[in-house]
Chain A
Amino acid sequence: MKSFRKHMAFWPLSLLIFGMLLGLQVYLKPWQQSEKKLEQMRYLPNGEYLRVASLGYRELLADMLWIQAIQVMGERKISDSSGQWLFRALDSITTIDPHFVRAYEAGGLALTTLVVLPEESNQLLKKGILNNPTEWKLPFLLGINYYYELYDDATAARYMVHASQINGAPAMLGTLAANLFLSARSPQQAADILAAMYRNTTDESAKKLLEVRLRLVLTERDLQSLEQVIAQYQKQTGHFPASLDDLVGSHLLTSLPDEPSGGRYIYEARTGAVSSSTMTERLTLTGRRRGK
């Protein structure tokens, strides 16, 4: 009888304690939610310490932090200061596990799309390239950042070349790098890339397309150098040359270049503009950039 009474008392008491626990949980919830997930990351120790403290469970720790970081990325609005915490979290994750390629990729993108922190994004991507030299997407994304965010086409082109040279990279990256070099007014480098691609391609149709593109790039290179010499001539004499032959006569050019597609260069003496008879439009990059 005594044990039955004891048994009977156990359940109401347990239910009462459980009910109180639930109540306390509900009561404490607002405190827990008052701080945004991202701001909680400020308590995150330096990645170097975390890596050492993980005692061989680095990847597991990096995964857990990565899942946390993803939840943050899903938040509607992220301020620049919150973005800094996101960068810190991503930096810690990639310090704990330097081969976490997805964290570099998604993190690099998030830092320029959810917030505008291109320098931090670049820092993360450069770290990724250093630790994962066989991943073409990292230099590709870095190139995009330099083009879209920092308007530095020459650096963007260099990273595109880097990406295009890694196994598994799409062939279009070489053409993209050439276009970026053109946009950076380095047509010779663009021509060199296309020439190398032409040499390494065995597909005949691709070879034909590259040949056409290469001729256009060489024409663009000639046009840009002619424009430079015309500008120099005008600086020296105070007026535009009457014809392109005047450039040779004034020893600014040794000879006039041949038009690579078999056409000719047309010169407008009144405006100093130079064009090609085979090229309807000048080669330029027409992609959008942030703020432009």
Chain B
Amino acid sequence: MHSLLVVAQNTFRETLRDKILYNLVFFALLLIGASVLLGTLTIGEQARVVNDVGLAAINLVGVIIAIFVGIGLVTKEIDRRTIYTILARPITRTQFVMGKYCGLIFIGGLNISIMFSMFLVTVWLSGSTIQGSLFQAVELMLVEVLVMTAIAMFFSTFSSPTLSAIMTLGFYVIGHLTGDLKRIAEKSKDPIAEGITTALYYICPNLELFNIKGQAASGIVVSVDYQLATTFYGLLYAALLLVAACRIFERRDF
């Protein structure tokens, strides 16, 4: 456990030094600020626009960080050959992968917390009420980031950063489309297409489950059961990917 925490701490520090992280936070803050300006362009829906833009910015930046930092964490160690010095110490490969993952989710959590705080200030400054639903939406965004980080880590244990980025982004796109694909296949009434999309629907992560931004922006609170079940689904999916990532990394030769 101690070794895992050391790796996590190092990953956290290493990523904090990564300048892209600050740029992305700056971008999110800028976007949230711009949401106030966009709000003035609309009629009577200022609160909605501020909420929509703010939540979308937090979500987008959170996912981008998860993907683009996550895909490089393991390969960077291999490229720099620092992996040899790390694994020569009393650290198992599983601890290494899990430590990297934990460090990255700390970073993701910290980023989302900063962005969410700024967003709440923006909402408050724009004269809107801070709804409880916003907290629910951000909690599920955090779970989505956990899943995306796990996907990125999984691919980064056996492929190059470019390929990992492409595959993780692919998963992100499919994860948001599975529901629609299934509906389209049901309409087509082609048993093969329906079978493929149904399989994709259950195999790929259903990221749309974590998307309650629309309800949150309108102040609609989702049920606690849904919130808990979706969070559990996300954690379970991330756990599955991490188990696979650890297994692959255990067997990998450098």
Contact = CB atoms under 8 A, between A and B. Distances in A.
A60 B176 contact: no
A59 B41 contact: no
B49 interface: yes
A57 interface: yes
B42 A59 contact: no
Contacts of B24: none
A70 B52 contact: no
A70 B41 CA distance: 8
Interface stretch (B113-121, B209-217, B230-238): B209-217
Interface in B37-55: 38, 41-45, 48-49, 52-53, 55
Contact of A56 (B38, B48, B49, B211): B211
Contacts of B177: 52, 55
A71 B48 CA distance: 18
B208 interface: yes
Contacts of A55: 172-173, 176-177
Contacts, number: 54
Nearest to A54: B176
Contacts of B208: 56
B218 interface: yes
B49 A57 contact: no
A240 B199 CA distance: 79
Nearest to A68: B41
A159 B176 CA distance: 38
A135 to B, nearest CB: 12
A48 B214 CA distance: 17
Interface string B174-214: 00110010000000000000000000000000011001011
Nearest to B214: A59
B213 A59 contact: yes
B130 interface: no
Contact of B176 (A56, A63, A99): A56
Contacts of B64: none
Q: How large is the interface on A (under 10, 10 to 19, 20 to 34, 35 or more residues)?
A: 10 to 19
A58 B52 CA distance: 9
B43 A70 contact: yes
Given A63-B38, A63-B53, A56 B43 contact: no
B52 A60 contact: yes
B6 interface: no
Nearest to B179: A52
Interface string A27-63: 0000000000000000000000000100111111011
Given A56-B208, A59-B56, A60-B53, A67 B42 contact: yes
B53 A66 contact: no
Contacts of B52: 59-60, 62-63
Nearest to A106: B43
Given A56-B207, A99-B214, A67 B41 contact: yes
Given A52-B177, A55-B176, A56-B208, A102 B56 contact: no
B164 interface: no
A55 B180 CA distance: 10
A220 interface: no
A153 interface: no
A70 B45 CA distance: 12
Nearest to B173: A55
Interface in B56-74: 56, 59-60
Nearest to A66: B42
Interface in A107-138: none
Contacts of A60: 52-53, 56
A97 interface: yes
A60 B49 CA distance: 8
Closest 5 CB pairs of A and B: A60-B56, A59-B52, A56-B211, A55-B176, A56-B176
26 contacts: A55-B172, A55-B176, A56-B59, A56-B211, A57-B56, A57-B59, A57-B213, A59-B213, A59-B217, A60-B56, A62-B52, A63-B38, A63-B42, A63-B48, A63-B49, A66-B42, A67-B41, A70-B41, A71-B41, A99-B214, A99-B218, A102-B43, A102-B44, A102-B45, A102-B48, A106-B44
Given A63-B49, A67-B42, 20 more contacts: A52-B180, A55-B177, A56-B208, A56-B211, A57-B56, A59-B48, A59-B55, A59-B214, A60-B52, A63-B38, A66-B42, A67-B38, A67-B41, A71-B41, A97-B214, A99-B214, A102-B43, A102-B45, A102-B48, A106-B43
